[in-house]
Amino acid sequence: MTAQLLSIPPLYQSFSPRKILLIEDNDVNRMLLSDYLGFFSYYVKSLPDASNVSVVLEQFKPALILLDLKLPNIDGFQVLEIIRSHPDWSKIPTIVVSALAFKSDYERALSLGVKRYFVKPVNLTELMSAIAEEIDCSRK
């Protein structure tokens, strides 16, 4: 994995630091993804659950949200409903990274405004490309 990190594709080098809110309950996944995003100059705020997501969204003002659907206390679908119900937050591109691989989960997430849906284990190159594209599109 280290060798892959050292050869940074030009696509990722051109972006200025942007804020990403990462909501992932698995400590290892959260740490690894946060570090990986940080390596590409993204400023990441990571949460192990979504219990205070409204406060964090209001204060952090992310350019993009990476969301696991299977979370303790409040699941990812409820988080999507919260995001969708707020006029400012509903404009933030949201990408799901989840182990839920059923078509019904995918369709439900899309109906709640998700831009992209990745099933774990995720291809990091594809994820980084999607993040860059969504942030770029949201700036226009």
Going from the C-alpha of 7 to that of each of 13, 19, 107, the distances in angstroms are 11, 23, 35
Sheet of 94-98, strand order: 43-47, 19-23, 64-67, 94-98, 116-119
Torsion angle (degrees, nearest 10) of CA 44, 133, 97, 88: 70
CA–CA distance, 69 with 92 (Å, rounded to integer): 17
Does the domain formed by 15-139 have CATH 3.40.50.2300? yes
Could you read off the pLDDT of 15-58 as tens digits, one per residue?
445 999 999 999 999 999 999 999 999 999 999 999 999 999 99
pTM score, whole prediction: 0.86
Say which residue, 10 or 47, is predicted with more confidence.
47
Residue 1 is predicted with a pLDDT of 40
Residue 74 is predicted with a pLDDT of 92
Spans of all domains in the chain: 15-139
Say which residue, 7 or 101, is predicted with more confidence.
101
Residue 13 is predicted with a pLDDT of 46
Find out whether the peptide bond into 121 is cis, omega within 30 degrees of 0.
yes
